[in-house]
Structure 1
């Protein structure tokens, strides 16, 4: 595709949550050691996709979580604290979506689920 051409409308779109980055690439993207990513997975901070052979594949959403982990580490939080913050942030996001759907139902504006 040339720089001026538009994307192929028939090309498959990669979902933001679909794992595409190998662990080494993901680690480079967030400037972390590969071993740290394995630790964060073991501790339940994120769950990358796996190939049938067991290779981890990180999505764009996983990369965003890893950036957030870096920020929280820089603030001095330990792994347990980071897990709790991520849990609470996910709950806030869930509640925002629920509130938006409730407001839309009340006002008659239908929105597709996010």
Structure 2
């Protein structure tokens, strides 16, 4: 008998809205509202059921924290989330460039 551990990707859609609602403590209608305005984009099954990933749940937790703890309105949350995403993309690009620079320096030596 082998012990096999299956890892679920952070982006794997696994949670139905009722589960996400319980996990975060948000009403399902609030989650749907956040989806409508583009703060989260859950996967849809062939039967049109929403399935949320761990990344979606983390995003909803962040939205909840910004709204409830910091008093930021949803328009502000949208701006923050977009800028955060852009920063992450730019950081990834910087990391790639630094890796390429190290590789090139190594070749020059």
- 1:77 correspondence with 2:72: yes
Which consecutive unaligned segments of at least 5 residues does structure 1 have? Answer: 110-114
- CA shift at 1:76, angstroms? 0.8
Alignment match of 1:96 (pick from 78, 91, 98)? 91
Superposition pairs of residues 35-54 of structure 1, within 5 angstroms: 35-54=29-48
Q: What TM-score comes out, normalization by structure 2 length? A: 0.88
SS at 1:88 equivalent: helix
More helix by proportion, 1 or 2? 2
Alignment RMSD, CA only? 1.8
Which consecutive unaligned segments of at least 5 residues does structure 2 have? Answer: 105-109
**Structure 1 stretches of at least 4 aligned residues deviating more than 6 Å after TM superposition:** none
Q: Which structure's CA Rg is the greater one? A: 2
Q: What TM-score comes out, normalization by structure 1 length? A: 0.84
**1:19, 1:28 → 2: CA distance?**
16
